[in-house]
Amino acid sequence: MTVLAIANQKGGVGKTTTAINLAAALAALERNVLLVDCDPQGNATRGVGAEAREPNLYHVLSAGVPLPEAVQATSLPFLDILPADRDLVGIEVEFVGEPGWRQIFRQRLAGAIDRYDIVLLDCPPSLGHLTVGALTAADGVIVPLQCEYFALEGISELVNTVSRIRNSANPRLTITGILLTMYDERTNLARDVADEIKRHFRDKVFETVVPRNVRLAEAPSHGLPILQYDIKSRGAEAYLALAREYLTRAA
């Protein structure tokens, strides 16, 4: 089992979109995938058409409910979801002062080892306890990066956080890849940001680029990954390409 966190402390960069659609694309390629919604907003939960009923991730983390009891199947045969709702906000408070709190995510995910090939953790847009716990549980992190100027400023903070966690709590954590999202090839800014990121991070940047795509933006309101909403769209093509690229790299 490989655990991948999808993380960026900036909001609006396509993080949950990437978590949902990469999970769906990997499932379409017949990998057993568990998508874990680590964000109290519950967007990943709704984005695959699931319900934030109890038990959910909050109960797994705080009450020790066995992970399989909280997992829900989705409409894709190889994709399950561990949902979240607003109760998850309580974890930020409950983890304060708790000995070994950073390891709780990893311990609770042990119930997924035999059932899934890949676990994707959709992190909240912050570097709080939930994100740090998820990064401590992860083998790697995928960083969605919107092609705009301020994105360059935010990524250094995340890289520093990854480095600190690797040196203290999780030596196996690596940056699996940086994914350029909302790319508009018509603008000089998008090309300049892409060039700058590739200059700094070189082979860490995925070759696959996710374009701005209306159908991709519409899909979550229907509770469907883009592969089910419009498989012929550019967004669907991009995430299938990303899944294939990831599996090639992992191999």
Predicted confidence (pLDDT) per residue in 185-229, tens digit: 888 888 888 898 898 898 999 999 999 999 999 999 999 999 999
Q: Record the pTM.
A: 0.95
Tens digit of each residue's pLDDT (9 = 90 or more) over 164-189: 999 998 999 999 999 999 988 888 88
How many CB atoms are closer than 10 A to CB 231?
A: 14
Residue 145 CA to residue 15 CA, distance in Å, equals: 8
Phi and psi, residue 209, nearest 5°: -125, 135
Considering the chain, what percentage of its residues have pLDDT values greater than 70?
Answer: 100
The domains of the chain, with CATH numbers, are 2-250 (3.40.50.300)
Q: Which of these, 155, 248, 245, 250, lies nearest to 208 by C-alpha position?
A: 245
